[in-house]
Structures are given as structure tokens and as C-alpha cells.
Structure 1
């Protein structure tokens, strides 16, 4: 037995379908078999609410702190490398992603009901999607920028030009993220369930070919969110690690070698965390798209596995907004110095503590993940 698009949606709604997947443009609204639910939907619902609440609290606090410290450092005219520009934009993007989570959690708590209206449906999704893409794109830009900075270390010419390029890259990232988010946002509607008065915020694709539109949106999300940025991040950070390996051979000092070994581990963490957070979700999303195209046999067991896996891996992917402040800021000695400066200096100007910290501060040109002698300006 097969169902039409609207009939299938109504069936899932009557079973208490979760609506948060709409934020990732992944409604399973195609012809398929009618399968019994083989998992506790209420348990999944409440688990998602708890997990997203945790991500909201940690993500907002960490990214707001990063943004505040960066703004304060700039206000104090602290000399910093231009990579801070990407870090500040990354913090803004992750902060905005986390800020939308209470809206989605409230919809989850109402079993998919959307009480905020169609305008809020579109705007919330647009804010979420633009900043989600922006966060991923800024990570890719940062990997390229850091490698090129190492290759050009010692070249003091063209500083103004590189600063202009970085600013143009930031503008380009936001524009690209906006363009990538517009198509699916355009199709979002608030529609009434045929089972009760429940209103849903979900994409409504053209009736002529809804499956093709949905699969196209899924594949575009996979392409822009993982297939293109991950190789860029992996390749350029691998090149950066190799550059450190080569430079360490010319500096036999055991201290320098140990510091650069730590730096290479941090670089590996950048790659592993991105792959670990985003790989599972895009993998499940690809299986879902292939099953809708008939390239993967869709059984009831697979249908249930995909449904649960999509929700769990969505949560895992958003954990990246919590990991980014740790990886790109909290392990940075300069950032920790700025943090101490922001909280301690203000209240210790009459003591020797401020001068003691100032005297122990490392060079402001040191790379956030590279504590080495004569460090590259990244």
C-alpha cells in the first residue's frame, strides 16, 4: 500500500510526528509503505527537548562570552591578528543558531504544533539556516586563511590587501549562506493537520513533483553543508600540520617540538570534531534521499531507523556550536589572557596582579593553536 504526500503527512501527524526536522528541511513526504512505529515517540520527543535545551544554554553562554571578549579586545585597541575576524563572525553565527532553539523546542513540546504563525515560521527557519551555513563556511575560510598565513609568514607587505580580502570573504560567506537558505524558506508554510487543530511549520513543495523538490533540497544541503566544506577543512589543516612538521625539523629544540606536536593534535581535533558532528547527519540524510529515489530498498525497519537517526544526528550536529568556542578560543592563550584581562584587570588596577599577568602574557602574534617559538602569524 502506498500513500500520497498529504496522506502520509497526516498519518505521521496522527502518530505524534515531531516537527523539528523541518528546520533541516527533511520532511519525509513521499510515497512509501505504511509502517508501524517501532520506537517510543514520546521518549524521543522528551529526549530531544532536553538535549536541545542543553545545547541552547551551553552554546549561548560560550559563544556570547567569545563575542564579548573579542569586542572588548578590539575596543581596547589590543593588537590582534586578523583571524579574529573569522572567529567573531563564527561566534555570531553559532550564537544565532542556538538562539533559535527555544522556538523549535516549544514546537517539539507541543508535539509538532506551530503556534507562532507563518511569518515567524519563515523568519525563524531563515535565521537558523543562514547562520548554520555561515558557521560551516567560516570554518572552511579559517582553515584556508591559517594555512596561507603560515606560507606567507614573515611577509609584511600586502597587510592592508589581506585585511580587505578577509572582510570581503566574510561578506561573501553571509551572502552565500543567505542564498543557500532562500529556496527552502520560500516553500515553508503553516498548514493545518487533518487530525485536530494542530498547525505545522513545514515546506510545501509543488504538487507536480514534491519528491524531486525534497530530494533536491536534501542533496543541496549535503553538498553545501558537508561535501564541499569538509574536504577544504581537512586538506588545508592537513597542509598546515605538514608545514609544522617541516618547520620542526629545522628547530631541533625538544620544547619547540613538543609544542608543535600539541599544535598538530589540535589541528587533528578540528578535523575530527567537524567530521564527528556533521558526518553522521549527512550520512543518514543521504540514505534517506537515496531511499526516496528508489536506489536503496526502503523497508519498515529502515524507515524507523532513518527517522530516529535523523533526529539524534541532528542533535549531534548542533553540538558543533558548543565545540567551536572551545576549539577556536578557550585553548588559545591569547583568548585566555583577554578573558583574564576583561574580568581581572578591571578590578585589580591598584594591585600588582594586573602587572603580573601583563608581564607573563605571550606575544599577541601567537597563533591560537600553536604555542611555539617565533610562531607564525595566523
Structure 2
């Protein structure tokens, strides 16, 4: 979760800099923030996953993008599940008491699901655009279902491969600044800086440079499609709902950029400093240290935002949630049937209304 934990370290071991900030206050704040993310993210994503599983069990017709939603919830849930371990280490000022195997496995679980969460967001942006713009017949719909399933397998495989290099180099080592055991990468001795910068750039590339343009471009195209079609909309309510949908799409882009942009910017500055393109002074080292901690925390807030953006604001999901809790034991009542018949079939898993949604 920090330089010591995730291996995104920028300090060179030969550089002895005085700490210009209250390290204890920083680590305590991080413990509080990660605990908050753990509680909210775990509860929200567990609820999303439970409602989706219940809907499938009850044979409720589902849009196929719910496949991505379920996988996204699993990924965010697993990321949150690792947070208590990182909090425990942070509370001990970075000390890792769990052993080297736990160091590798915890980081692997965290990293795979972190990459998976990002990749599934990109997949959904592409899928939603083509679901709206392409009219499917039964054969094409069946093929698209297979493509979605293959995409989910591919996402997990790519996330696993992307997480292997840094996990391979992770070891438990004694800190040179105290009697602490750290979980951190130990790169080959002949060129450790090059290895570190290479892994940093790979994380920036796979975690932001590639997925963010995909998300931004396809959601922008989707919003343009709604804007063009709204001019021909006969119903004022449909036009208003599409206007709301465009705002939701804008929120998708802004939240991803806001959560991940700052962290990858700091990581990029860190890599430039290691390459000598930025002067790595003690002042800059302290700024990067604090910034990496704070922006890492900001990035993990996406585990809390994703259930809200992709589930709780969706009308269908709210109906599913209402039926699951309020009307769990009243499926034969008229009110429950009213909700069942009011459940619209949206083209995408967001508050998006279309005149003739494709049947997928």
C-alpha cells in the first residue's frame, strides 16, 4: 500500500534524507482511511454481488453486462479484503510480521484484483457502446455472450500476468532504518533502478494509459449517441432520462480520472526522478513519499464509488434490491407484481433509456 508495501518506492537506499513530515500522523491517517474504505467497500460490493446472485437464482431476466458487474464486484471485494492486513502493517510503522509467503500472496491477491477492476471498467465501456449501436439477432446475441465470457477470462488472465513481475521480486527484508521487517521488492543487484522503473512504467501503462482512453472514448461516443437520438425523442420524459444518462456517463469518466489520475501522475514523477530526469532532492523525496500514500488511498476509493455508479443509481438494480429486502416474503402480493412488471429492460447497466433496447 505504500513504498514499503507495494514496492512503488522512489527512495534510493544510499540517500539519507531527514523526514520533513510527521510520519506517525501520516500512517495513522492512512489506517483510518483504509479502514473506512474496507468497511464501505466490503459492504457495498458484497451487497451488489448478493443481489446479482439472487437475481440469477430467481431466473430474473438480466442484461449481459451484469456479467461484468458481478466480476467487477468480486474484484473490488477482494481488494477490500486485503486492506486489514495492510492496515495492520501500517499501524506497526511498516513492520511485516506475517512472513514472506503471506507477503507475496497478499500482494498478488491485491494486485490481480486491482488490475481486474480497472480492466472490467474498460470492458463495460466498450460493451455498452456496441450494445446500444448494434442491433442483435439471436445468433449475434449468442456470439456476443460468448465474447463477454471470453473477455472475463482474458481480463483475469491479463491481470494475473501483469501482477507477476513485482510479486516475484517481493521479499521480507530488514529495514536499514530500524528493527523492522518490510515486505518490499528486492530487484537484481546489477540494475535495481532499471527494474523498479520498468515495473512502474508497466503499472502506469496497464493501469491508466491504456484503459483510461478506452473508457473516455467509448463513453463519449455513447453520450454523443444519446445526444443525437434525443433530438428525435417524442417523449419529454425519455429526453430527460437520456440527459441524466449523459451526466452519469460523464461521472464514469470523471471518477476514474479523479481516482487514478493523481496516483499515476505521482508514480510517473517518481519514475522520472529515478531516471535522473527530475532532480531527486530530499525535498522531492519527502513530497513523493507523502503523495504516494495519499493518492494510493484516493485510488482505492474507486472500490466504494463503483457500486454506486454502476449499481445503486441504476433503476433495475434498485428494483432488485427492493424485492430482495422489502418484498422477500411477498412475491404473490400485488405490490410485488407491480414492481416486477415495472422493471425496465435497459440497454446498459445504468440509468439509460432507449426506445428499442436490443434483446441480449
For the superposition of Structure 1 and Structure 2, which TM-score range results when normalised by the shorter chain?
A: over 0.9
Shift of 1:361: 2.7
Asked if the contact 1:30–1:210 (Cα under 8 Å) also holds between the matched residues in 2, the reply is no
Gaps of 5+ in 1: 1-18
C-alpha separation between the residues in 2 aligned to 1:266 and 1:90?
Answer: 18
Looking at structure 2, the residues matched to 52 and 168 of structure 1 have their Cα atoms a distance apart, in angstroms, of 33
Comparing 26-35 and 174-183, the one that deviates more: 26-35
Q: Of residues 87, 101, 120 in structure 1, which corresponds to 2:69?
A: 87
1:130 paired with 2:146, answer no
Q: Which residue of 2 aligns with 1:6?
A: none
How far apart are residue 36 of structure 1 and its match?
Answer: 1.8
User: Residues 134-283 of structure 1 correspond to what in structure 2 (within 5 A)?
Assistant: 134-153=116-135, 155-194=137-176, 197-283=179-265
| Residue 354 of structure 1, aligned match among 336, 340, 349 | 336
Determine if the alignment matches structure 1 residue 35 to structure 2 residue 5: no
Q: Are 2:59 and 1:77 equivalent residues in the alignment?
A: yes
Q: What's the offset of the Cα at 1:137?
A: 0.3
Could you tell me the TM-score, scaled by structure 1's length? Answer: 0.91
Instruction: State the alpha-carbon separation in 2 of the partners of residues 20 and 309 from structure 1.
Output: 10
Aligned residue in 1 for 2:40 = 58
Q: CA deviation at 1:365?
A: 5.6
Question: What residue is the counterpart of 1:288 in the other structure?
Answer: 270
Distance in 2, matches of 1:154 and 1:23, equals 47
Among residues 85, 105, 117, which one is paired with 1:103 in the alignment? 85
The answer (yes or no) to whether the contact 2:208–2:260 under 8 Å persists in 1 is: yes
Q: Distance in 2 between matches of 1:238 and 1:227?
A: 17
Give 1:326 deviation, angstroms: 0.4
Q: Is the 8 A contact 2:131 2:348 kept in 1?
A: no
Superposition deviation, residue 302 in structure 1: 1.6
Contact 1:133 1:177 (8 Å CA) reproduced = yes
Shift of 1:21: 3.0
Distance in 1 of aligned mates of 2:131 and 2:333: 38
Greater displacement, 349-358 / 259-268: 349-358
Partner SS for 2:328: helix
Q: Partner of 1:14 in structure 2?
A: none
Matched, 1:313 2:300: no
Deviation larger for 301-310 or 89-98: 301-310
Q: Is the 8 A contact 1:80 1:364 kept in 2?
A: no
Candidates 324, 344, 366, aligned match of 2:326: 344
Task: Identify the residue that residue 120 of structure 1 maps to in structure 2.
Answer: 102
TM-score of the aligned structures, taking structure 2 as reference length: 0.95
CA RMSD of aligned residues (A): 1.8
**1:51-90 residue CA offsets vs partner (Å, 9 max, x unmatched):** 0000000000000000001111111111111100000000
Q: Does 1:369 align with 2:358?
A: no
